[in-house]
């Protein structure tokens, strides 16, 4: 798979979609990579889809960033490198914070938003901040994080795969992700977002419970909210068919690029 601006990514349907239809850019969450998005979503029909590995994650080299703002700069540089003037930015968990920050700081690059398992704040439990960065406690932190990322309905193999992917990270990068989330807060700025916004969350999400998504819905003027049953924080893996269907319907409603 290719790289742009140092970022590893996958692309679906290149050259097959009218230039007037905005592309979809998928941004994973803390400790994740592009595999946090099920293939149904990464290969969404009738859409050019880019799924990214953020710095320090997946196949992208280097170190992770220390703030949501820094990751936002990476997304902006990625879009510039591929000459993507504007797109629909979809973010999962920490990725939702990056998507919100991009919409607030560089609105010309964002046609619409999709926020999954997100929030205006992304507070992190102290025990995660205390254990994620140490080699001695890293494995137990990963175990705890994944135990809270999935609902009781998730197949054990899915949870194990998520653990293996997270264990491949550097502990310092995982800690920096969660520190970046913990410091994120755009509560006072949400009413500045005037673009179409799709909000999705799992009904059993304990990392960012549905009340966080409801808050986004209440504060963003043109937002729609769907709470998906039998899913936790990793709604993209537990309910991929429904997420893909809702994203496809949402993409169909976005005005064409001029």
Question: DSSP character for 164?
Answer: H
Cα–Cα–Cα angle for 239, 213, 70, nearest 5°? 95
**16 falls within a domain:** yes
**258 falls within a domain:** no
The pTM of the full predicted model, rounded to 2 decimals, is 0.98
CB 6 within 8 A of CB 213: no
**234 falls within a domain:** yes
Q: Which residues pair with 11 in a beta bridge?
A: 50
**164 falls within a domain:** yes
CB atoms within 10 A of CB 170: 15
**Total domain count, the chain:** 1
Distance between CA atoms of residues 105 and 123, nearest Å: 21
| Domain containing residue 188 | 3-253
pLDDT tens for the chain, residues 1 to 258: 699 999 999 999 999 999 999 999 999 999 999 999 999 999 999 999 999 999 999 999 899 999 999 999 999 999 999 999 999 999 999 999 999 999 999 999 999 999 999 999 999 999 999 999 999 999 999 999 999 999 999 999 999 999 999 999 999 999 999 999 999 999 999 999 999 999 999 999 999 999 999 999 999 999 999 999 999 999 999 999 999 999 999 999 999 998
Residue 8 phi, psi (nearest 5): -80, 140
- Cα 194 to chain centroid distance, Å, stands at 20
**178 falls within a domain:** yes
* CATH label of the domain that carries residue 215: 3.40.50.1820
**78 falls within a domain:** yes
**185 falls within a domain:** yes
**32 falls within a domain:** yes
Distance between CA atoms of residues 172 and 44, nearest Å: 33
């Amino acid at each position: 798979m290719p790289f742009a601006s140092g970022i590893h990514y996958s692309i679906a349907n290149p050259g097959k979609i009218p230039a007037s239809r905005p592309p979809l850019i998928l941004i994973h969450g803390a400790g994740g990579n592009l595999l946090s998005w099920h293939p149904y979503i990464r290969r969404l029909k009738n859409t050019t889809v880019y799924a990214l590995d953020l710095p320090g994650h997946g196949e992208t080299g280097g170190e992770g960033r220390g703030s949501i703002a820094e990751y936002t700069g990476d997304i902006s540089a990625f879009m510039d490198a591929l000459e993507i003037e504007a797109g629909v930015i979809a973010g999962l968990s920490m990725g939702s914070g990056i998507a919100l920050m991009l919409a607030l700081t560089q609105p010309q690059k964002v046609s619409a938003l999709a926020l999954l398992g997100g929030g205006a704040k992304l507070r992190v439990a102290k025990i995660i901040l205390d254990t994620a960065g140490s080699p001695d406690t890293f494995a137990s932190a990963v175990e705890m994080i994944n135990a809270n990322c999935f609902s009781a309905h998730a197949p054990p193999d899915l949870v194990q795969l998520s653990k293996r992917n997270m264990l491949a990270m550097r502990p310092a990068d995982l800690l920096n992700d969660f520190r970046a989330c913990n410091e994120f807060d755009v509560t006072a700025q949400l009413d500045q977002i005037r673009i179409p916004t799709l909000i999705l969350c799992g009904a059993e999400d304990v990392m960012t419970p549905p009340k966080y998504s409801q808050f986004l819905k209440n504060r963003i003027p043109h937002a729609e909210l769907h709470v998906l049953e039998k899913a936790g924080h990793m709604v993209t893996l537990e309910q991929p068919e429904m997420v893909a269907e809702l994203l496809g319907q949402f993409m169909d409603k976005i005005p064409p690029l001029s």
